[in-house]
């Protein structure tokens, strides 16, 4: 019977411990790893999370700042990876595509 005396306390500790731990929360780009930026969460606007930079063919936002950006980002997406650029595809639709401006192409 003595061993059950602490059971209610243990039960309270276990049930009170339910909470969400958000990994990857950030305030600035420098807190994220390579190939990532600190972008606004889609679900909680006041939360910023380390988000991968745009890869080939992924949606992007033309006003996303380059990485690292010293301010706070206002968009949920990061800019495209360095070898890609955010290209207008159709009204309000942009995608990360190869940056042909940097290629040595002569016509």
Q: Which two tokens stand for residue 97?
A: 């595509």
Q: Is 15 inside a domain boundary?
A: no
The C-alpha atoms of residue 1 and residue 89 are separated, in whole angstroms, by: 72
3-state secondary structure of 13: helix
The pLDDT tens digits for 15-65 are: 444 544 456 899 999 999 889 999 998 888 889 999 999 999 999 988 888
Q: Is 9 inside a domain boundary?
A: no
What is the CATH classification number for the domain harbouring 43? Answer: 2.10.80.10
* DSSP secondary structure string for all residues of 38-84: EEE-SS-TT-EEEEEPBPTT-B--TTPPPSS-SS---SSSPPBPTTE
Q: Is 47 inside a domain boundary?
A: yes
Domain that holds residue 86: 24-102
| Mean pLDDT rounded to a whole number for the chain | 77
Q: Which two tokens stand for residue 70?
A: 């010293």
Q: Is 107 inside a domain boundary?
A: no
Q: Is 4 inside a domain boundary?
A: no
């Amino acid at each position: 019977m003595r061993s059950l005396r602490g059971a209610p306390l243990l039960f309270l500790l276990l049930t009170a411990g339910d909470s969400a731990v958000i990994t990857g929360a950030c305030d600035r780009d420098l807190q994220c790893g390579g190939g990532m930026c600190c972008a606004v969460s889609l679900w909680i606007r006041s939360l910023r999370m380390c988000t991968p930079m745009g890869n080939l063919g992924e949606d992007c936002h033309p006003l996303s700042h380059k990485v690292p950006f010293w301010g706070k980002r206002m968009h949920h997406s990061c800019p495209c990876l360095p070898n890609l650029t955010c290209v207008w595809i159709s009204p309000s639709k942009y995608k990360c595509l190869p940056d042909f401006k940097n290629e040595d192409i002569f016509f």
